[in-house]
Amino acid sequence: MKITIIWRFIVGIDISKKRLDCYLLDRQTGGGYDCQVLNTYEGFEQLADWLVDHGADPSQTKLISEHTGRYGEHLLRWTTTNEWPHAVVKTTALNKVGNEHHRKTDAFDAEDLADYGVRYSDKISLTTAPKPSIGQIKRLQAERRAMVDRRAALRSKLTEANIHDADMERLIDMWTRQVALLTEHITELEARIKEQINEDTAIKNRYQMMRSAPGVGKVLGPLWVSLFAGQQTLDARKISSRFGFAPHPYKSGSSVSRTDQSSGFGNSEVRRVMHQAALSVKTHCPHYQEYYEKKRDEGKEHLLVINNIINKLIRLYCAMWNNRAEYDPNYIQKNKHKWKKSA
């Protein structure tokens, strides 16, 4: 049986703050070559020249790197702009190609990443850099979240200040001023996020559409758009699983078994905001309020019902996104008779 090699060259790239360690594997000849360049745009151009010198071009080369957050953002932007196929994989990828040695160097990790790229080339999806506006929205949201957390911590201190026996007057004054300053900065960041959304027509339209849905406010709206902007269709099941809301079976043989449970893992910001959205619709939307009360009357735990509401919201948001349609508050009422007939 003839085996066709789609990607002749696989390049493993270990990213650090200041430099990139690269390992080029030629799958046709079996040759391996390594180099080190700076983690700058000048270094990226040197990397491109080095690849071309070894016969590698974008049409038959795939770059593999781990997700390293901000240290890899400029490289991904450069590879996207210059059309070099680039796959950013999870930081646990190297565990799948571990060897018997105890070596741990950046150059060795780059070689292992190339090995990973060869073994799992048919399963690795290419990654592209988000629009600059999306990247800016994500950065602003992350800073907003950090400030909100700091403000919450200070407010907690203020509520407990009178419990202390010591003189807290000066500290209370300092904390109060910090809370006021953080509130000012949070408001400024929210305004800047809205400006970024309004500057891109496609993002603005998506945002306005999502804002019509129950539970989507000034935090969840930009977060949802920043996560999925550029995608034409969304899979609700995959999204629920990705963020730890989908129940999964846990069974093995006849002795290991438990009820299906959600993992509880996933992006902490998404989990926190979706939980708040579920609490909001449970309180303010009759449909979800009825559902919550019905399940509680059946003996379901509060958090379980909230998780179910979150999954319902995800299915709703994905349907709106895929159909490019705003939320119709009368949709359920108008279709109740259809559902009764089909039941």
Identify the helix (H) or strand (E) that includes residue 13. Answer: strand 9-15
Q: What region does 111 belong to: left with phi over 0, alpha with psi -120 to 50, or beta?
A: alpha
Residue 67 sits in a domain of what CATH number? Answer: 3.30.420.10
CB atoms within 10 A of CB 96: 13
| Number of domains the chain contains | 3
- 45, part of any domain: yes
Q: Show which of 199, 225, 250 is a domain's final residue.
A: 199
Does residue 87 register a pLDDT over 80? Answer: yes
Domain that holds residue 115: 9-119
Residues 267, 184, single domain; the answer is no
Q: Which two tokens stand for residue 316?
A: 């709703």
Percentage of the chain surpassing pLDDT 90? 58
Give pLDDT, residue 129: 87
Radius of gyration, alpha carbons of the chain = 25
Do 92 and 142 fall within a single domain?
no
Residue 316 CB contacts under 8 Å (≥ 6 apart), including other chains: 213, 214, 327
Give the model's pLDDT for residue 2: 43
> What is the three-class DSSP state of 166?
coil
307 occurs within a structural domain: yes
Average pLDDT, rounded, for the chain: 86
Strand partners, 22: 13, 35
For residue 256, what pLDDT band results from cuts at 50, 70 and 90? very low
What is the per-residue pLDDT for 330?
77
Sheet containing strand 9-15, edge to edge, reads 32-38, 19-26, 9-15, 61-66, 86-89
Query: Is 229 part of a structural domain of the chain?
Result: no
pLDDT tens figures, 275-320: 999 999 999 999 999 999 999 999 999 999 999 999 999 999 999 9
Answer whether residue 226 is part of any domain: no
Structure tokens at 3: 């085996």
